[in-house]
């Protein structure tokens, strides 16, 4: 019998021959990526529904007129200032998250804990701001299924009949609370997951495991929340 | 599993996010946001840039921000091409829905506001 291995029986070593991850990424991280892709589809569907309703409306409440208060400080006259603060908080908490991941690469437990706590504080600050924003709009009369009285609505528009103004304001309110609510729910779950991971870091779970990959995975989720906010911010507050 | 993930983890370490790079991306994101605010608070109200031209500018700037978040913060720029493609190609479905519904919604105007 010949000892040479026929070509078909040779063990292949190329990345796609099986036996190892061709993506060179750990399983849980790949699954987090594909979960986020599906979540991106959900958020895009909501935002595209908003876009198409707005495109098909002859008038729409002006964002600079709806959002011009800084809750607790001034009631009107400062368009976009408050949402600017919120955007800054979320971008800053994304940076602290990525710094936690970077510290995890060096297995620096104390630094990971510090940056994770900073991220959690940022998340709570964002949620607090959103609660103030919702409270302010609710106080003005906006909610699911309700809008301010006609003479108040008039100030938000540059044209259109009373009936049309009422209809598009209602659409705006429903979409605003649904989309920012869904995003806020993601921020909330992100904060909860961040707390769980921070507790695990403190308990030394990842130190024993030898890698801080879990921090990277929740980091992906947290950055995704920031990514969605970038789009919500543009399409609700700027456009 | 932990040994394997450890190995995976160290393979990509030759090119990754350093502290300097993290802060650079942060200032890029902050800068783009400030530009958006300048457009919204100065250029549009004073009619330097009419709103119909400002909107595409906002969208392009937003896509830049999205790129920096996904590529650097989410580390996708440093992953294998196969993973990048398997995540980037399905985004075509989102583009498709945008094209279909923005086109379609222009026709809804006549249905929703017949007067």
Domain ranges of chain B: 1-79, 80-115
Of A56, A210, A230, the CB nearest to B66: A230
Q: At B113, phi and psi to the nearest 5?
A: -125, 75
Kindly give the interhelix angle for B51-68 and B19-38, rounded to the nearest 10 degrees. 170
Q: How many C-beta neighbours within 10 Å does residue B50 have? A: 10
Give the integer Cα–Cα distance in Å for A62 and B105: 20
Q: Enter the ipTM.
A: 0.89
Neighbours of A170 (CB within 10 A): 17
Q: Considering only residues 46 to 75 of chain B, which have any Cβ-Cβ distance to chain A shorter than 8 Å?
A: 55, 58-59, 61-62, 65-66, 69-70, 72-75
What are the chain B neighbours of A101 within 8 Å (beta carbons)?
A: 17, 75
Q: Taking CB atoms and an 8 Å cutoff, what residues of chain B touch A210? A: 2-3, 6
Task: With beta carbons less than 8 A apart as the criterion, state whether A14 and A199 touch.
Answer: no
The tokens of B43 are what?
């250029």
A-interface mutation test, from B107, B113, B115, most A Cβ less than 10 A away: B113
Locate B44 and state its tokens.
């549009």
What predicted TM-score, i.e. pTM, was given to this entire model? Answer: 0.89
A213-232 and A27-55 are packed helices; what angle lies between their axes, rounded to 10 degrees? 10
| Chain B CA closest to residue A79 | B41
Fold (topology level) of A25-238 = 1.20.120
Task: Answer whether B92 touches A (CB < 8 Å).
Answer: no
**Backbone region of residue A70 per phi and psi (left: phi > 0; alpha: psi in -120 to 50; beta: other values):** beta
Rounded CA separation A217/A36 (Å): 11
- C-alpha distances out from residue A204 to A26, B1, B79, B96, Å: 20, 18, 28, 46
SS3 A62: coil
CB atoms near residue B10 (< 10 Å)? 11
Cα separation, A130 vs A224, in Å, equals: 18
Cβ-based burial of B107 (10 A; exposed 0-12, middle 13-18, buried ≥19): exposed
Find the CB nearest B58 among A101, A209, A238: A238
pLDDT in tens, chain A (239 residues): 556 777 777 777 888 888 777 888 899 999 999 999 999 999 999 999 999 999 899 899 988 888 888 877 777 778 888 998 999 999 999 999 999 999 999 999 999 999 999 999 999 999 999 999 999 999 999 999 999 999 999 999 988 889 999 999 999 999 999 999 999 999 999 999 999 999 999 999 999 999 999 999 999 999 999 999 999 999 999 98
Inspect the interface and report whether the beta carbons of A45 and B97 lie closer than 8 Å.
yes
Partner residue opposite B62 with nearest CB, options A30, A57, A230? A230
């Amino acid at each position: 019998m010949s000892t040479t291995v026929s070509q078909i029986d040779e063990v292949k070593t190329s990345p796609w021959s099986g036996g190892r991850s061709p993506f060179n990424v750990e399983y849980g991280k790949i699954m987090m990526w594909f979960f986020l892709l599906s979540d991106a589809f959900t958020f895009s569907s909501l935002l595209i529904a908003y876009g198409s309703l707005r495109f098909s409306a002859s008038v729409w409440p002006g964002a600079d007129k709806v959002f011009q208060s800084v809750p607790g400080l001034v009631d009107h006259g400062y368009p976009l200032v408050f949402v600017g603060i919120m955007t800054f908080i979320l971008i800053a908490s994304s940076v602290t998250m990525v710094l936690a991941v970077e510290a995890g690469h060096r297995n620096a437990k104390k630094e990971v804990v510090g940056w994770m706590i900073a991220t959690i504080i940022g998340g709570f600050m964002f949620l607090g701001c959103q609660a103030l924003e919702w409270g302010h709009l609710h106080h003005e009369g906006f909610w699911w299924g309700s809008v301010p009285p006609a003479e108040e609505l008039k100030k938000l528009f540059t044209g259109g009949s009373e009936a049309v103004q009422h209809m598009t304001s209602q659409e705006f309110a429903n979409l605003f609370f649904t989309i920012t609510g869904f995003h806020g729910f993601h921020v909330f779950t992100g904060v909860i997951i961040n707390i769980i991971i921070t507790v695990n870091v403190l308990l030394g779970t990842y130190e024993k495991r030898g890698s801080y990959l879990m921090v990277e995975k929740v980091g992906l989720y947290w950055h995704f929340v920031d990514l969605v906010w970038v789009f919500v911010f543009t399409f609700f507050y700027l456009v | 599993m932990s040994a394997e993930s450890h190995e995976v983890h160290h393979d990509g370490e030759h090119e990754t996010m350093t502290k300097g790079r993290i802060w650079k991306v942060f200032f890029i994101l902050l800068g783009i946001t400030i530009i958006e605010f300048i457009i919204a608070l100065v250029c549009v109200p004073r009619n330097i840039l009419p709103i119909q031209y400002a909107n595409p500018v906002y969208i392009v700037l937003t896509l830049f921000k999205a790129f920096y978040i996904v590529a650097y913060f989410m580390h996708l720029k440093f992953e294998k091409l196969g993973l990048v493609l398997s995540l980037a190609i399905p985004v075509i479905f989102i583009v498709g829905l945008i094209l279909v519904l923005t086109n379609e919604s222009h026709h809804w105007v006549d249905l929703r506001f017949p007067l």
